[in-house]
Amino acid sequence: MHEVAPINPWVALAYLVAGVCFILALRGLSSPASSRRGNRFGMAGMTIAVVTTLLTHELANPVEVIGAIAIGAVIGLVMARRIAMTAMPQLVAAFHSLVGLAAVAVAAAAYLNPGAFGIADATGQIFTVSRIEMGLGVAIGAITFSGSVIAFLKLNGNMSGAPIILPLRHVINLGTLAAILGLIGYFLTDQSPAVFWTITALSFLIGFLLIIPIGGADMPVVVSMLNSYSGWAAAAMGFTLHNSAMIITGALVGSSGAILSYIMCRAMNRSFISVIAGGFGADAAAAGGAAKEQRPWKPGSAEDAAFLMSQADNVIIVPGYGMAVAQAQHALREMADMLKKEGVNVKYAIHPVAGRMPGHMNVLLAEANVPYDEVFELEDINNEFAQCDVAFVIGANDVTNPAAKTDKTSPIYGMPVLDVEKAKTVLFVKRSMGGVGYAGVDNDVFYMDQTMMLLGDAKKMADDIVKALGEGH
């Protein structure tokens, strides 16, 4: 083993404490009640890590460093305060891109000045292990950056959500990945700048190529996946710097993103490989359009809906992203409040992919002051539909489609869905009968005897129901 500069045990201990604080930060999120304390642990851990670093390294120019932190703090705080909750996926993607770019910058700085990081011998030769770590760090960081930029542009609507399919993309992607890994191997024998910067450039390219073919519907998986990458990038840099706080954090964040990706894939019944391979949503319209026939359906009005729900004992509300797009969450909560006043038992049922990122719908409902103990996850509430009087579907479609359970030819077959069709009455708020969901398939629930279609804008419909409920007295 090579000589590494001796590390002050107190410093190592401080970084370990910071790492433990980060574990506690995530642990706090096991329930909303302990979550804010968890977040404070996270802040404490970060403070310990930063202060320890500042105290143990001679700052060439403290003003510059403090200034840099202050600039970042102002930008970050303004973004955090201004962002709309519906735009949270974009914000998270933007933050991921910054972690990625910061990792690239740190890896590049370490490459240019290895002596400062204690990873080179007297002649300036970077240690072998450090070269692997540095190569992987810069590669993962660059992929995280360019991938997140594309994810941001797609989520923010600056770029079409439709997948962009390049011919031979699998060959190009695998070739580029192989080239990156090969170059990292070659980097062990030759630390010349050309090798390092080629690895960096190719990694930026592959991040871009990996995300452009992925369609809008798969974005929750992509955002989770990039979350994971940003963690692995931090871990790789932690190896380079022999820093336990960075390694622990990187491992936590890496596993977190990986688990969220897995949960999102499972919720859409998509394999991780097929998401990465991309192209979902490109040919979906063709798949669903074939069996289109005119079938009778029953229209209803806001007054009908108000009457039915006020007479019910149990109402389950199924919100989807369309509800958030129409900004109907406040009107919806008002409707639920009025129903509760009439003695109706109201619950919300959330499908894991109801929003644009994991847990997104829960945040949107929380913002509209819906108490979190009225909001239930799919597996916790699905068997209650059979006993409920009214299922009120607003802005959701594919996640209620029974074809996922019965029709093997359906593109969404196998996806877990909410069993709304088991309710005595289904009220389905939808803009028009023409449009179909993300997957482009027709939904049998529209044509069932117990279903009443409430056609119109989600917010206007919720407002009208509130008005009708008010007049009922």
Identity of the residue numbered 334:
E
Q: Which of residues 211-230 bind other proteins (CB under 8 A)?
A: 223-224, 227, 230
Looking at the Cβ atoms of 79 and 286, the one nearer to other proteins is 79
Angle between helices 458-471 and 302-311 (to 10 degrees): 60
When asked if residue 241 is in the footprint of other proteins (CB under 8 A), the reply is yes
User: What's the sign of the alpha-carbon dihedral 230, 233, 235, 241?
Assistant: negative
Looking at the Cβ atoms of 246 and 436, the one nearer to other proteins is 246
When asked if residue 245 is in the footprint of other proteins (CB under 8 A), the reply is yes
By C-alpha distance, which of 42, 65, 71, 67 is closest to 53?
65
Pairing of strands 375-377, 390-394: unpaired
Would you give the DSSP letter of residue 299?
A: B
Cβ proximity of 332 and 368 under 8 Å: yes
Looking at the Cβ atoms of 281 and 355, the one nearer to other proteins is 355
Contact map string, positions 254 to 273, toward other proteins, x by CB under 8 A: xxxx-xx--x----------
When asked if residue 55 is in the footprint of other proteins (CB under 8 A), the reply is no
When asked if residue 235 is in the footprint of other proteins (CB under 8 A), the reply is yes
When asked if residue 106 is in the footprint of other proteins (CB under 8 A), the reply is yes
Write down the catalytic residue from 121, 190, 283, 398: 398
Q: How far is the CB of 45 from other proteins (least distance, A)?
A: 7
By C-alpha distance, which of 153, 261, 151, 256 is closest to 210?
151
391 is written with which tokens?
């299922």
Q: How far is the CB of 314 from other proteins (least distance, A)?
A: 16
Q: Which of residues 13-52 bind other proteins (CB under 8 A)?
A: 15, 18-19, 22-23, 25-27, 29-33, 35-36, 38-39, 42-43, 45-46, 49-50
Contact map string, positions 173 to 192, toward other proteins, x by CB under 8 A: --------------------
Helix (H) or strand (E) holding 274: helix 272-277
Strands in 451-455's sheet, in edge-to-edge order, are 375-377, 345-350, 314-319, 390-394, 425-430, 451-455
What does each C-alpha distance from 72 to 68, 76, 409, 466 come to in angstroms? 6, 6, 51, 44
The DSSP-derived string for 115-179 is: GGGT-B-TTSPBPHHHHHHHHHHHHHHHHHHHHHHHHHHHHTTSS-SS----TTHHHHHHHHHHH
Q: Which of residues 349-408 bind other proteins (CB under 8 A)?
A: 350, 352, 355, 357-360, 362-363, 366-367, 369, 371-375, 377
Q: How far is the CB of 182 from other proteins (least distance, A)?
A: 23
Q: How far is the CB of 73 from other proteins (least distance, A)?
A: 4
Instruction: List phi, psi (to 5°) of 13.
Output: -65, -40
User: What's the sign of the alpha-carbon dihedral 458, 399, 387, 368?
Assistant: negative
Determine the 3-state secondary structure of 278 from DSSP.
coil
When asked if residue 237 is in the footprint of other proteins (CB under 8 A), the reply is yes
When asked if residue 149 is in the footprint of other proteins (CB under 8 A), the reply is no
Cβ proximity of 351 and 387 under 8 Å: no
Q: How far is the CB of 59 from other proteins (least distance, A)?
A: 5
When asked if residue 321 is in the footprint of other proteins (CB under 8 A), the reply is no
Q: How far is the CB of 4 from other proteins (least distance, A)?
A: 7
419 is written with which tokens?
């069993």
When asked if residue 318 is in the footprint of other proteins (CB under 8 A), the reply is no
Q: How far is the CB of 81 from other proteins (least distance, A)?
A: 7
398 is catalytic: yes
Q: Which of residues 66-85 bind other proteins (CB under 8 A)?
A: 68-73, 75-77, 79-81, 83, 85
When asked if residue 153 is in the footprint of other proteins (CB under 8 A), the reply is no
When asked if residue 323 is in the footprint of other proteins (CB under 8 A), the reply is no
When asked if residue 248 is in the footprint of other proteins (CB under 8 A), the reply is yes
Instruction: List phi, psi (to 5°) of 222.
Output: -65, -45
When asked if residue 122 is in the footprint of other proteins (CB under 8 A), the reply is no
Looking at the Cβ atoms of 270 and 360, the one nearer to other proteins is 360
Looking at the Cβ atoms of 4 and 174, the one nearer to other proteins is 4
Active site residues: 398
